[in-house]
Structure formats: structure tokens, C-alpha cells
Chains A and B, each alone.
Chain A
Amino acid sequence: MPTPDWLLDVEVRGPMSGEQLSTFSEELERRVGERIGELERLNAELQLALEQKTVAQEAQARSDAHFRAAFESDAVGQIHMDPKTGVIIRANRCYAAMLGYEPAEMVGIRGSDLTWPEDKTPEPWSRLRDGKVETYSREKRYTRRDGTPVWTRVSASLVRLPGSGEPLLAVAMVEDIEDRKRAELELQQAKSDLEAVVEQRTAALGQRDLLLREVYHRVKNNLQIVDSLLMMQARRLSEPEARAALETLRARVYALGLVHHQLMGSPDLETFDIAPFLRELSTHLLEGLGGGQATLSVRAAPLKVGLDFAIPLGLLVTELVTGAFARGGGSIAVALEAGEPGWLTLTVADDGAGRDAGQDNSLGANIVEGLVQQLKGTMTVIEDGGVAVRLPAPVRA
């Protein structure tokens, strides 16, 4: 057993005296005491170091556990890649499952090889590698094991060595956005389907407007033909009464034409305001009858009407105004007013001789009676001259 080095410098020569021995013994004890103290200190330091190491190891273990837990999270796919080659070093279960693989199978595959061909673009990756961006995020499709695409959102970053900045690890978070993408595509499809339908409907409406205008045009042209025939016939008649009868027919034809004229000018080609129509019709009738001296007042509340209401009403007004003029009325008042809700009152009042409407004209009386019935109204004779017709308002938007 070798002599410990701390004993070597204690010189022992020949037999020692009692004093010498005692001195040596003291020295020895002193030195041993020193060494023990040293050892105890070392031991304490060692203990401390050991404790510290344990704490560090535990912390490391905890950190690793956290890291593994995060990496293996089901919520998001994760891959670690060699930053130089892009080869997968490890992939979590979520990522592997997204593409139809086991995690272990993915190790060694280049991430970009799994990208759907149409979505391959090296640019984002190279910008990251060259340090132009810290992270990048983009939506792209991966190719599943079965060859089908899956839409994902990839967020990638590089872990670099402190100091040199050398890329150490490429980390990518991969989120399955298939549902969202499908919803987006479906929404887009639905939107373009809707647009196509709207376009079709618009075209159909345009077509309908075109047809309606053409129909109204032809109706008016045919009414002009009827009017011309009446004039031609009137020329052949010598009896003034017969000619006058044809003139009243012309007035009725004109009323029909005016309804179509109003329809043609209305935006929807279906409804128009009755007020200007009544004004134009009454004015025209009186002028046509040569009643330049007679005064006419027309009062009508704005009311949207369609063909079904305007034709009988227009013809009714034509008969009543013609009748009023025939009775010699110098002042004729036409009014269409809303009474109780849902009802209208048409009055054609005059200061003529006060005979019952249409008494002098059996056809006129017949037409008035029939039209009032058609309009589901009731007619009363006004004492001062003229008639009032109470009729239900047309039901229409």
C-alpha cells in the first residue's frame, strides 16, 4: 500500500526522543484534522453538487415530458425535419394519422414529397431557410397514403444554434383544415350556383319584359287598326246618328289603348297608378267629344292597379263621362276616392239635365250596369246629377 503523499514530508530519522515523539504526534494529529476538515468540505460540496444535479435532471425530465406531451398532442400535427434536407426526423401521431401513416413510417421521408403536386412551391421554405422570415404559414394539400388530398394549414419555423445561427431543426405545425376548406368550397359552389340562377332569372325576366312590351305594342297596333276600320266605316255612313255611334265606339277603343299605354310605361309592366290614367282619359274624352267649353275636374288618390281592374274601370269612366257630356253638363267632376278600408268610391258628377245616367243611350246604360257588376260595386244616382259607384278596391300589392 503506497504511503499517502501527505505523510512523505514527515521525516523520521532514527529513534525519537520522548519530546520528538510528542511533537510528531501533535503534528500528525494536526495534519489529520486538517485533512478530515478538507474531506468534510469536499463531501459537502459533493452533496450540494449531487443535489443540484438531481434537481436539474428532474427539471430536464419534466421539460422532456412537457415537450413529448406537446409533440404527441392530438390537437395538431407536428413534424421535425432536418433543416438542410427537409427529411422528417420525427412525426407525431396526429400528423401521421392525417396522412394515413404510422409515425415511425414517416421518418426518413422528405416533407415536400408528401405535398400535393399542384401545391408544391419551394419559395416559403427557402425564405425561411435563408432567414428572410422567422416563420411561415400557408394552406396546402398533402397527399394521403391512399392518394387523396387533404387540406392543411402549415406553420413552420427553424430552431437555430445560439451564436452561429446555424439551422438545427425545422419544426412544422400542421393543422387539418379539410372541414373548413370543404365548407368554403361548398359555399363558393352554392354562391356560384345562386349567381347562375339569378342570372337565369334576370334573363327570363328580361325575356318576359320583352314579350310583354311586344304584346302591348301589338295590342295597341291592333286597336289602331280597329279605330281605322271604324273611321273607314263612319265615312260610308250618311246618318249622323250612326256616325255618332261609331264615334262613341272609338272612345271605348281609345280607353283600352290608354290602359295598355300605361302598362307599357310602368316599371313592372303589370301595374300603374290609376290617378294619371283617369286624368288623361277624362281630359281626352271631353276634348274628343268637342267639349272644349265644359270644365272638367279629376280627383283621384294614387292607387296601383292592374289590367283586370283598369280595363273595366276605364270603360266605366268612359261611359259615365260620355253620358254626362251628352246630358249637357257644363261642369263634370270625376273622383276616385278611398272610403272605408278596402273600398273605393267613383263619382262622375255633372250639372247637366239630371236625367238618369245612360237613359238616352241604351248601349251605354247596359255597359255601365254590366261593368259595375263586374267590379262588384253598387251604383247610386246623385241627386244633383251624375252617379256614384261604391266598389271594392283591387287586391294587389
Chain B
Amino acid sequence: MSGTLDGCVVAVVDDEFIIAEGLTLQLEDMGMSVCGTAATAEDAVRLVQEKRPAIVLMDVRLDGEKDGVDAAIAIHETVGSKVIFVTGSREPATMERIQLDHPAGVLFKPISDWQLRQAIDAALAS
């Protein structure tokens, strides 16, 4: 297991409670610390601005009018955390939209421990 992830602070954004919870456990099992979860773009931006995590796991589809890309752009402009998108979709429209925010990584659900670790390693290295 990579040691670089120990203590890394991550925010989890997903409107599905169980998925947010599962990702939190996954991150904690890898030795990272989750600073909070959010279900909407607004809450996500607020959470990240307050806690300033190194990494944000961002679902693309969120509750409310704004999506994960909107939140990621706002985060990129204000805090600068590395945003890794988490999506169930690989359809071109979603992928195009994700590219608007120069993502640090994209993960497709369901996400294995190995993929999650690799993506965070890569994001921190970039």
C-alpha cells in the first residue's frame, strides 16, 4: 500500500448517501482522512472552501440544478483542490463536460480500491 496517501485529506461529493459512505470507508481503509461529504454542488463548494482538502471525489450527477462539473470549476477557481470525477457514465456528453474542468482523474463506477488508489496517487503527483 502506498504510504503517500496516509493522512491525505479528501472530500466526497455524491448525492447517494450509501455511495458517499462507501467511498468514505474505502478512503479511510487506505489510510486517508475524509473531511466531509456533500450531496449538492453548492454544499460541495462550501465544504471544500472551508476544509480545503487535497483531493475531491466528485460525482457528476448531483442533486439540484448544478452538477459536479459546475462545482469542480468553482473549486478549481477558489481552492485549487485536485478534483477526481466519479461517474457511472462514459457517454461522450458527460466526458466532454468533465473535460471542461481539466480533471485530475476520472473514475467509473463501481470503483475498486486499486483504481481509487491509483487515481489519487496520480492526482497528487500532478
What is A's interface to B at a CB cutoff of 8 Å?
213, 216-221, 223-232, 235, 250, 253-254, 257, 261, 264-265, 284, 287-288
Contact = CB atoms under 8 A, between A and B. Distances in A.
Interface string B9-45: 0000000101101110110010000000000000000
B72 to A, nearest CB: 19
Contact of B18 (A220, A229, A264): A229
A229 B108 contact: no
Contacts of A223: 109-110
B112 interface: yes
B90 A228 contact: no
Shortest beta-carbon contacts, A-B, top 4: A228-B22, A220-B88, A224-B109, A257-B110
B23 A228 contact: yes
Given A264-B89, A265-B90, A228 B114 contact: no
B91 interface: yes
A232 B90 CA distance: 26
Interface of B: 16, 18-19, 21-23, 25-26, 29, 88-91, 108-115
Nearest to B108: A261
Contacts of B113: 288
A287 B110 CA distance: 16
Contacts of A221: 16, 19, 88, 109
A213 B108 CA distance: 14
A254 B26 CA distance: 14
B22 A261 contact: no
Contacts, number: 73
Contacts of B108: 220, 257, 261
Nearest to B111: A224
A190 B22 CA distance: 58
B111 to A, nearest CB: 7
Contacts of B23: 228
Contact of A257 (B18, B22, B89, B109): B109
A225 B114 contact: no
Given A254-B110, A287-B114, A288-B112, A224 B22 contact: yes
Given A217-B89, A264-B90, A264-B91, A250 B22 contact: no
A225 B25 contact: no
A261 B113 CA distance: 17
A155 B118 CA distance: 81
A265 B111 CA distance: 17
14 contacts: A219-B88, A220-B89, A220-B110, A221-B88, A224-B19, A230-B22, A231-B25, A231-B26, A253-B110, A257-B108, A257-B110, A261-B90, A284-B114, A288-B113
A288 B112 CA distance: 7
A228 B86 CA distance: 14
A228 B88 CA distance: 14
Contacts of A250: 112
Contacts of A218: 88
A236 to B, nearest CB: 11
Most buried by A among B90, B110, B113: B110
